[in-house]
Amino acid sequence: MKKLLALLILVAAATITAALIFLKPTAPEVTPQRPVPTVEIILVQPQSIQLMVRSQGTVMPRTETALSVEVSGRILEIADNFRAGGHIEADEVLLRIDPADYQAAVATRIADLASARLTLAQEEALAEQAVADWEALGEGTPSALTLRKPQLAVARARIDSAEAILRQAQRDLARTEVKAPYTGRVLSKTVDRGQYVTASPAAPIARIYATDSAEIRLPITEREATFLQTTAAERIDVRITKSNSIEPHIWHGKLSRMEATIDPASRLLYAVAEVQNPFKAPVLRRGQFVHAEITGKVMEQVYSIPRYALRSSDTVYIATADNTLQTRRVDIVKSDAKQVIIRAGLEPGERVVSSPIAYFIENMPVEVTETP
């Protein structure tokens, strides 16, 4: 009885399963519709664009000098502002060396000159006497030695020598006062009052720099160098700004020259900008890192698009008249993080896609909205 009941249950289960399989509804086939993406476009037109070359560099004085003494001696006085960071004026006395030995030397040379002049006067008198004696007693042609001409020449040469030595002694005396060669600032100083200094170019007493102008070496690529009018009679404008400045300020300089050598390590050229009176308020400081914008050539009939509208190194998407997408390779003159300047590859009035696209298929349909 139990076996028969189990058999009936199996048969019923099989029947129900077969009925569910053969009587299941058939699902209709639906072709999926690809969504049409919406894109933003930019209408491009040719225009004239002033190229700008951006770089950065370090502010350095155009004139910087290692200051040495020209005579030896002990320092008696030092100017109060002859300290690191001090402001100095042209011809200001920075320090004085003990002049006693040099004053004595001048006095000695004055005496030597007076002695030489006395000797010359004596020789001139003897020469006149020699001429008179020869005219009274001599016969024939007298020799130069007889007329004391060589002695006169020696006496005159001794005067020239004594005057030159006196001038040298006077210069040495004047050099006991070390004066500033120009208006500027003291970068560093290695001596002080009471110290004995020796006249040696290899042992400078201070380092100073002029404050009338500064130079900034700006690294640029060879391609960027072609954007600059380096042969123009009027020098190119350069805008200088501080790096990470709380209160932004713009200094205006000029591109003074292009260095002739390419750096073998970086393969870059250096443009040198000159800024007048940079160390006055608002001040640029020696060694300060700054950003620079160099005014370049004006490009005619070129197109400008945002950097994000560029799809690869030289490709953009174009929305055609029938609202489909096409790729277009373009000739790029210059690009940076914000802007791309295109010389060829676009036509006036064409629509360049500026919005991101999740996927791209050539000639895919799109809905177009113009970038606000």
Domain residue extents for the chain: 38-49+300-370, 53-62+212-299, 71-96+176-211, 99-175
Q: pTM for this one?
A: 0.73
**Cα separation, 62 vs 58, whole angstroms:** 12
CATH architecture of the region 38-49+300-370:
Beta Barrel (2.40)
CATH number of 71-96+176-211: 2.40.50.100
Residue 33: alpha-carbon gap to chain centroid:
60
Average pLDDT, consecutive stretches of 10 residues, N- to C-terminus, the chain (372 residues):
64 66 62 73 90 92 95 95 94 96 95 92 85 74 80 90 95 95 95 94 93 94 83 76 78 89 91 90 87 90 90 87 88 87 90 84 82 62
Distance (Å, whole) CA 258 – CA 294: 12
Comparing C-alpha atoms, which of 340, 349, 343, 334 is closest to residue 311?
340
Closest to 131 measured CA to CA, from 121, 146, 118: 146
Architecture of domain 53-62+212-299: Beta Barrel (2.40)
> Which secondary-structure segment (H or E) carries 61?
strand 47-61
76-85 own/partner pairs: CB under 8 Å, 24+ apart: 76/193, 77/193, 78/191, 78/192, 78/193, 81/186, 82/186, 82/189, 82/206, 83/186, 83/189, 84/186, 84/187, 84/188, 84/189, 85/185, 85/186
